[in-house]
């Protein structure tokens, strides 16, 4: 029998009778001076220090006072920056953890447990363990470190798990802290599509190191950071497409139902010989890394022999890194959409190579998964941009400043080359049709409707514009938006589980709120999702979902209030949408 099925009476002193941390007086201020600071910190010591920090910072309102107090806790710097990093998630909520402990007061025996809080949160973030296994490892970790029976320490741990100390500061405050270079900078969150990050095995010392006579190396003034950037975004357009009359030449393409992926390929350009690919990074338009695209990375390795590459990079004035005699590093930016494709249903017209339909749920679920590769990704390329223009967010003077039509020619050449070298597969051309006026667009709209496409993307034949603008227009037959799930309804449903139909308790629908009106959404869930959400509503309640709908309509029972016509769930996110 699995140890998760062993249920014993719970000693509830931890979770029921312990008063809230803020309601109890603590004498934590003297703790720091009473413990000698040498060797790696214990988990209890870190939690006591974190509780002390929370108590002191929450007692003041001034931002500068908060920053000063935080700066006096350099031993907590790495843990704080890990916890508040915008791309770090534990994928486990304190409420869910408490329910697990109530059900299973004695954790299983584990051969190896994380040795520190940093390692534990790294493990949870990597999703190498999930569900009850992750909860049991956390519970065993807390018991191993004598935290499980200590009320105020456990509450501090819960705040770390939820990434909220309730102390009136966050990631932006931490960026302004003057740590005096006592500890390393925030550990970067990986943005390469390779293997998942390993657990950190070295625990930083608590004590600040003595000042060194060796000068600290400083990063270059121009860092070309990937944490913040903008990219081309479009504005909606509706028939009769009058806005297109403002510019004479446009290109239309199919609107794909995938995930936007910005690709940075860094090349080392030696004084002589071929370029070398030194890194490939896949990011969302918000700068979040994608981890399951190693097959795309492998195909892009062949660009080192692409005839136009050296010419493109030599015209780009931005040098990412100067490596002296080795050469310089330059970056090429590709913009496209990653899709997972499945055969089109019978009776719906296809069109040669586009005789497929995109599986949006699958690509959203797989593209960010650590330790996983999408088996057959399709990367539809719709722009090739010099990094100098991408970084500037606008076109630059010649020899840069190509119009979109000229960049389409570059895309065709690049995709054709990769197809010849690799036999085709991952990188694909997204066909662009030149349209002149609304009559041409109406024709493409008819084609989109006939073939069941999501819509059209229409681009002006202009130089690059790296922000939301009227140069890029999107027409969608269906609308979609993000909503937070407020609650769910469950009931008996006839579902196919492992190929066998039967009656099961399942999630019948979820409730969202659209412009103040409750809206029920019952379509779009798989049988597995319906069963999982009925068993544990916390898997979806409070989470953000994308809801696709045909149009707004007046709520039948609330005159003057707007609801949604034919809503269906398109994607479920672990927290807020970040891709």
Query: Which tens digit of pLDDT belongs to each residue from 205-243?
Result: 333 333 333 333 333 444 555 556 889 999 988 878 888
The DSSP bridge partners found for residue 391 are none
Q: Based on the number of CB atoms within 10 Å of its own CB, is 398 exposed (0-12), middle (13-18) or buried (19 or more)?
A: exposed
The reply to whether 192 falls in a domain is no
> What's the CA gap between 186 and 286, in Å, rounded?
19
Q: Residues 119-170: pLDDT tens digits?
A: 999 888 888 888 888 888 998 999 888 887 557 788 888 888 887 777 777 7
The reply to whether 221 falls in a domain is no
Please choose, from the candidates 258, 290, 265, 284, the residue with its C-alpha nearest in 3D space to the C-alpha of residue 373.
290
Whether the Cβ atoms of residue 238 and residue 340 lie closer than 8 Å to each other? no
- Is there a single domain that holds both residue 394 and residue 259? yes
The reply to whether 117 falls in a domain is yes
- Is there a single domain that holds both residue 458 and residue 485? no
- Is there a single domain that holds both residue 434 and residue 490? no
> What's the CA gap between 91 and 78, in Å, rounded?
20
For the chain, the domain total comes to 3
Predicted local distance difference test score (pLDDT) of residue 211: 39
- Is there a single domain that holds both residue 21 and residue 47? yes
> What's the CA gap between 216 and 20, in Å, rounded?
43
The reply to whether 193 falls in a domain is no
- Is there a single domain that holds both residue 460 and residue 485? no
Residue recorded with tokens 């504005």:
235
- Is there a single domain that holds both residue 45 and residue 145? yes
> What's the CA gap between 477 and 550, in Å, rounded?
7
Give the Cα-Cα-Cα angle 572, 577, 579 (nearest 5 degrees): 110
> What's the CA gap between 72 and 51, in Å, rounded?
14
Whether the Cβ atoms of residue 290 and residue 283 lie closer than 8 Å to each other? yes
Helix (H) or strand (E) holding 471: strand 468-476
- Is there a single domain that holds both residue 373 and residue 522? no
- Is there a single domain that holds both residue 533 and residue 407? no
459: containing domain: 233-476
Predicted local distance difference test score (pLDDT) of residue 38: 45
Give the number of other CB atoms < 10 A from CB of residue 393: 14
The reply to whether 283 falls in a domain is yes
What one-character DSSP code corresponds to residue 403? B
Q: Which of 126, 146, 175 is the last residue of a domain?
A: 175
Q: What is the CATH number of the domain that holds 516?
A: 2.40.50.140
Q: What is the DSSP string of 488-544?
A: EEEEEEEEEETTEEEEEEEEEEEEEEETTEEEEE-BS--HHHHHHHHH-GGGTTT-E
Half-sphere exposure of 201 (CA within 13 A, CB side): 2
> What's the CA gap between 259 and 379, in Å, rounded?
9
425 three-state secondary structure: coil
Please choose, from the candidates 87, 333, 379, 360, the residue with its C-alpha nearest in 3D space to the C-alpha of residue 232.
333
Please choose, from the candidates 480, 484, 568, the residue with its C-alpha nearest in 3D space to the C-alpha of residue 257.
480
- Is there a single domain that holds both residue 328 and residue 366? yes
Using CA of residue 223, residue 224, residue 227, residue 228, what is the dihedral sign? positive
> What's the CA gap between 115 and 119, in Å, rounded?
6
442 three-state secondary structure: helix
Predicted local distance difference test score (pLDDT) of residue 149: 57
Give Cα separations from 551 to 148, 238, 248 (angstroms). Answer: 51, 13, 31
Q: Which of 476, 505, 526 is the last residue of a domain?
A: 476
Please choose, from the candidates 403, 173, 377, the residue with its C-alpha nearest in 3D space to the C-alpha of residue 294.
377
Residue recorded with tokens 């806790």:
73
Alpha carbon 234 to chain centroid, angstroms: 21
Predicted local distance difference test score (pLDDT) of residue 185: 43
> What's the CA gap between 101 and 82, in Å, rounded?
25
> What's the CA gap between 375 and 295, in Å, rounded?
8
Alpha carbon 531 to chain centroid, angstroms: 26
Predicted local distance difference test score (pLDDT) of residue 575: 67
Q: What is the DSSP string of 226-283?
A: SSS----EEEE--TT-GGGGGSS-EEEEE--SSEEEEEEEEEEE-SSS--EEEEEEEE
Q: What is the CATH number of the domain that holds 27?
A: 1.10.3260
> What's the CA gap between 574 and 91, in Å, rounded?
7
Q: What is the CATH number of the domain that holds 468?
A: 3.30.470.30
Whether the Cβ atoms of residue 388 and residue 317 lie closer than 8 Å to each other? yes
Whether the Cβ atoms of residue 436 and residue 258 lie closer than 8 Å to each other? no
The reply to whether 205 falls in a domain is no
Whether the Cβ atoms of residue 313 and residue 387 lie closer than 8 Å to each other? no
Strand-pair category, 259-269 with 276-283: antiparallel
- Is there a single domain that holds both residue 279 and residue 143? no
- Is there a single domain that holds both residue 276 and residue 422? yes
**242 conformational bin, left if phi > 0, alpha if psi -120 to 50, beta if neither:** alpha
- Is there a single domain that holds both residue 391 and residue 490? no
Please choose, from the candidates 147, 187, 172, the residue with its C-alpha nearest in 3D space to the C-alpha of residue 46.
147
**91 conformational bin, left if phi > 0, alpha if psi -120 to 50, beta if neither:** left
Q: Residues of the chain whose pLDDT is less than 70? A: 1-40, 149-150, 181-228, 344-355, 449, 452, 550-551, 556-557, 575-579
The reply to whether 577 falls in a domain is no
The reply to whether 214 falls in a domain is no
Q: Which of 423, 458, 476 is the last residue of a domain?
A: 476
Q: Contacts for 175-178 with beta carbons within 8 Å, 24 or more apart?
A: 176/67, 177/67, 177/70, 177/71, 177/77, 178/67, 178/71
> What's the CA gap between 514 and 48, in Å, rounded?
43
């Amino acid at each position: 029998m699995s140890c998760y099925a062993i249920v014993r009476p719970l000693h509830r002193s931890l979770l029921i009778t312990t008063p809230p941390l803020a309601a109890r007086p603590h004498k934590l201020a003297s703790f720091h001076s009473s413990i000698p600071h040498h060797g790696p910190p214990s988990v209890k010591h870190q939690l006591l220090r974190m509780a002390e920090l929370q108590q002191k910072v929450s007692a003041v309102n001034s931002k500068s006072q908060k920053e000063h107090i935080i700066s006096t806790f350099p031993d907590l710097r790495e843990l704080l920056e890990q916890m508040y990093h915008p791309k770090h998630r534990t994928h486990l909520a304190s409420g869910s953890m408490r329910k697990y402990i109530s059900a299973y007061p004695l954790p299983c025996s584990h051969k190896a447990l994380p040795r520190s809080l940093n390692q534990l949160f790294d493990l949870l973030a990597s999703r190498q363990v999930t569900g009850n296994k992750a909860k049991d490892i956390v519970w065993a970790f807390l018991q191993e470190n004598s935290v499980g029976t200590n009320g105020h320490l456990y509450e501090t741990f819960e705040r770390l798990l939820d990434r909220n100390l309730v102390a009136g500061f966050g990631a932006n405050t931490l960026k302004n802290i003057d740590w005096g270079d006592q500890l390393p900078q925030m550990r970067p969150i990986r943005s390469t599509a390779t293997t998942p990050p390993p657990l950190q095995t070295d625990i930083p010392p608590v004590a600040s190191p003595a000042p060194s006579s060796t000068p600290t190396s400083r990063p270059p003034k121009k860092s070309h950071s990937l944490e913040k950037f903008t990219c081309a975004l479009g504005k909606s357009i509706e028939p009769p497409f009058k806005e297109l009359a403002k510019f004479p030449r446009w290109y239309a393409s199919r609107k794909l139902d995938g995930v936007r992926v910005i690709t940075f390929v860094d090349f080392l350009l030696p004084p002589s010989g071929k370029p070398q690919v030194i890194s490939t990074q896949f990011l969302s338009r918000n700068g979040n890394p994608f981890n399951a695209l190693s097959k795309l990375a492998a195909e892009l390795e062949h660009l080192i022999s692409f005839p136009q590459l050296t010419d493109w990079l030599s015209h780009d004035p931005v040098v990412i890194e100067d490596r002296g005699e080795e050469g310089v590093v330059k970056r090429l930016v590709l913009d496209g959409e990653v899709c997972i494709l499945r055969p089109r249903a019978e009776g719906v017209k296809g069109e040669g190579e586009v005789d497929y339909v995109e599986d949006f749920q699958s690509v959203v679920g797989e593209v960010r998964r650590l330790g996983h590769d999408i088996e057959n990704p399709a990367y539809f390329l719709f722009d090739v941009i010099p990094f100098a223009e991408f970084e500037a967010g606008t076109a630059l003077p010649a020899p840069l400043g190509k119009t979109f039509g000229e960049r389409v020619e570059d895309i065709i050449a690049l995709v054709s080359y990769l197809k010849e070298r690799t036999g085709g597969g991952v990188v694909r051309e997204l066909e662009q049709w030149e349209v002149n006026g609304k009559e041409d667009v109406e024709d493409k709209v008819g084609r989109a409707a006939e073939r069941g496409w999501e819509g059209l993307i229409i681009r002006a034949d202009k130089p690059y514009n790296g922000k939301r603008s009227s140069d890029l227009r999107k027409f969608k037959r269906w609308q979609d938006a993000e909503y937070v799930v407020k609650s769910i309804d469950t009931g008996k449903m006839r579902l196919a589980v492992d190929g066998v139909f039967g009656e099961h308790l399942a999630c019948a629908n979820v409730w969202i709120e659209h412009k103040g009106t409750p809206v029920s959404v019952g379509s779009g869930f798989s049988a597995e999702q319906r069963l999982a959400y009925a068993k544990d509503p916390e898997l979806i309640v409070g989470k953000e979902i994308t809801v696709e709908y045909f149009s707004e309509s007046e709520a039948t029972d609330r005159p003057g209030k707007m609801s949604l016509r034919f809503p269906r769930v398109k994607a479920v996110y672990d927290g807020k949408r970040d891709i």
